[in-house]
Structure 1
Amino acid sequence: MDLASSAKNLSELCTFRVGGAIKRFYQSTDTADLTAAVALADRSKVPLLFLGGGSNTLPRDEGFDGMVIKDARNSVVVVTDPEDLTISWRDSCHPDNLPNPNSIGANSAIVRADAGVMWDDLVKYAVSQGFSGIEALSGIPGTVGAAPVQNIGAYGAEIGDVIIGLTAWDRVRSKICYLARRDMAFGYRDSILKRSRVALGGATGRWIVLGVDLELQRSTESSPVAYSQLAAALGVELGERAPLEAVRAAVLELRRGKGMVLDAADHDTWSAGSFFTNPIVPADSPILRGLPAEAPRWEVARPRSYEEIMAAMMPSVWRKNSGISGENGSAGGSVGETGSAGLERETGLKSRSSAGMASAAEPHCSEDDGRLTATDDCPTEIVGSAKGAVDAGSAKDVAVKLSAAWLIEHSGVPKGFALPESGAGVSTKHVLALTNRGGASAAEIRALADYVVSRVRETFEVELVPEPVIL
């Protein structure tokens, strides 16, 4: 294993096409080599960036003074016997939450994919095999391993809807374990995997995904269409089904219209997709009273903090190990923020309300790359969930989600906006994407992001939270 081989610039590995030199780069098609490299970095107290497709990362012009590891494994198999999954489950991080093989439906197809597989390649494969469940997630950039980290979703579907579990390297335990769906605490563009990164304050979280198991359905018809724009494009009613190939083609066309299908000739795709998540604020926040009545908002369950989730799900592990020796840096917020400060920055809420892990039951309003990007179908008043009522025992259990796109547009930042003499700009197709218009530096993209955040803060007193990992 040559950890010093193939040194590259991050600009070659990230869709923003910015970023300086990598000091140590390693790529492998072998699971044992990958986990050994991670373990070596942790023992050596070297900052670690485990990189997928680079579509959710904003590097620095100065490069990364640590180790960058990339998973090049690309196997996809169909598991014919659900009992075979129990081999993985024996090493579960939380045995009480193991899936039951008998719960796998007779018409189900269990698809196991390496984390290094490109996500859209997996969707294309599933559609070609007549496996439904992820066709609405066509065209999302990145790898299979990154998909559950932020619970990718679009056009009424999320990976959390179909995932059985995943195999991961636990950097605290220094072993491979299995996380079942319940272990991952999926929420709006969030999971325990993502929250562990923020809590640890580094570019990479506690768990490194090695492989993902999905339960799809053997059908040439799609899952019920759950998004009005997609239904209109297909010429069907909401809740109806359509041929898998037709759904995939329609989704790809819709995404192209928003600059969300990677295209070297289209600078709107030189981005990390939507740059900001939708803010979640406490239901009793004075911010809500100051917003115009037409500002889209909807009710969600109060998210839990990383500490709350870990204490409830894995108490013995949480009490014994709260971090990883030697990890440093920052991600998802200002440089140097870690612990509760990093969590507060990541979620846009104070630690007392522990936001950022919204209920998965929520309306899907104008989604494209896994994040809400417009407001055409969003409600204009506080409403209940589209997937089920929020189970709120009291007001303290309720939060309100706002539309980041609406806030940006109404703070005076239009599509195509750019700071003077900057190579970075807001997408010409939708305001949530920040783009490299050609020749931009990472610093210029960060400056544009800071400007957008400041405009929304000054106009509405709402703090926008970046979605990409900011190195």
Structure 2
Amino acid sequence: MIKVETKGIESFKGSAENKTVLRIQAGENWDDFVDHAIEHGLAGVEGMAGIPGTVGAGPVQNIGAYGQELSDTFVRLEFVDYETHEIVILDKADLAFGYRDSVINRGRTGLITWVELELEHFGGLSAPISSGQIAGAFGAQMGDQLPLREVADSVKKMRATKGMLLSDNDPDSVSCGSFFTNPIVSHTFARTLPEVSPRWETLEDDGLTVKLSAAWLIENSGINKGFSLPGSKAAISSKHCLAITNRGGATAKEILQLANYVQLQVSNRFGITLVPEPNLISF
């Protein structure tokens, strides 16, 4: 296993006068990079503040939160291809991004050395708000633009209330974040679910599908926050049903047993098989 710890951020002229391309070394901490962007008045990643991990890991699963995805601003990356033993440049088309997915996540093996993103200057304001949760927190409308730092701080507060912000004082943050992706289903299937179930229009499949809330499906299948299997040290977060936490000494087997139980309950109740978001290695 190779841990990339390269550091550094370079800036270049973007495709328009108000745009800047940043080349970020893969070992940079993602949240530190978001802070760097905000300090320089660059918008486009503020909704992803507080996501743990490195910049190089971001494109692998097309990280995203609160209405933004890495693919929204992605330009290209440098990739050491393990199969061809060549160093290549991969652009957006090469990555074939999907919802929490990319060609790398689907099996193209290699090492990311740097990532380029193109961000925008809006005079210290955020990109147009596309998250109902952010809009609600500020009493704003979708599409409004708000102070960059205030948006990032609000996102971190919301993440903390869900145990999704790393903290030594919060046992619910001892997780890998959201364990399951939000299912994308047809409008026809969505109509079979209770009307109160959250759903959002997607850009996938030419608008023929909707995205459902995995957290709502889990909780309404009978699994409550804090749930654990008898004798297990793995538990559902006490703050958010979408996270599986380690309560101290949980084994990989216990984590997967709980994940499988959640999948079974949701499948039995709603006919949907939840898909794990983290990569499961050697399982």
Mean CA deviation greater in 441-450 or 427-436 = 441-450
Tell me: CA distance 1:78–1:460, structure 2 relative to 1, closer, same or farther (3 Å).
same
Instruction: Identify unmatched segments of 5+ residues in structure 1.
Output: 1-67, 83-103, 197-204, 297-374, 393-397
Counterparts of 1:234 and 1:114, CA distance in 2: 34
Counterpart mapping for 1:217-256 below 5 A: 217-218=120-121, 219-256=123-160
Output the amino acid matched with 1:439.
G
| Kept after mapping to 2: 8 A contact 1:290/1:460 | no
Counterparts of 1:137 and 1:402, CA distance in 2: 20
What secondary structure does 1:457 align onto? helix
Output the amino acid matched with 1:405.
A
Equivalent residues, number:
280
What secondary structure does 1:430 align onto? coil
Tell me: CA distance 1:165–1:412, structure 2 relative to 1, closer, same or farther (3 Å).
same
Counterparts of 1:401 and 1:131, CA distance in 2: 29
Corresponding residue for residue 292 of structure 1: 193
**1:391 pairs with one of 206, 221, 230:** 206
| Kept after mapping to 2: 8 A contact 1:131/1:217 | yes
1:227-247 C-alpha deviation (Å, 9 max, x unpaired): 122122234222111111111
1:462: how far off?
2.0
1:212: how far off?
0.5
Instruction: Identify unmatched segments of 5+ residues in structure 2.
Output: none
Bigger RCO of structures 1 and 2 (CA < 8 A, at least 6 apart): 1
**2:109 pairs with one of 206, 211, 215:** 206
1:79: how far off?
2.4
**1:266 pairs with one of 159, 162, 170:** 170
Corresponding residue for residue 185 of structure 1: 96
| Kept after mapping to 1: 8 A contact 2:175/2:244 | yes
1:144-188 C-alpha deviation (Å, 9 max, x unpaired): 011111111111111111111111111222111111112211121
Output the amino acid matched with 1:273.
G
1:266: how far off?
0.8
1:295: how far off?
6.3
Output the amino acid matched with 1:436.
N
**2:253 pairs with one of 408, 423, 443:** 443
What secondary structure does 2:257 align onto? helix
| Kept after mapping to 2: 8 A contact 1:166/1:180 | yes
What secondary structure does 2:27 align onto? coil
Corresponding residue for residue 3 of structure 2: 70
Counterpart mapping for 1:306-317 below 5 A: none
Counterpart mapping for 1:114-125 below 5 A: 114-125=25-36
Computed over aligned residues only, the root mean square deviation of the Cα atoms, in angstroms, reads: 2.1
| Kept after mapping to 2: 8 A contact 1:114/1:212 | yes
Flag the structure with larger Rg: 1
| Kept after mapping to 1: 8 A contact 2:190/2:210 | no
Corresponding residue for residue 153 of structure 1: 64
Output the amino acid matched with 1:402.
L
**TM-score between the two structures when normalised by the length of structure 2:** 0.91
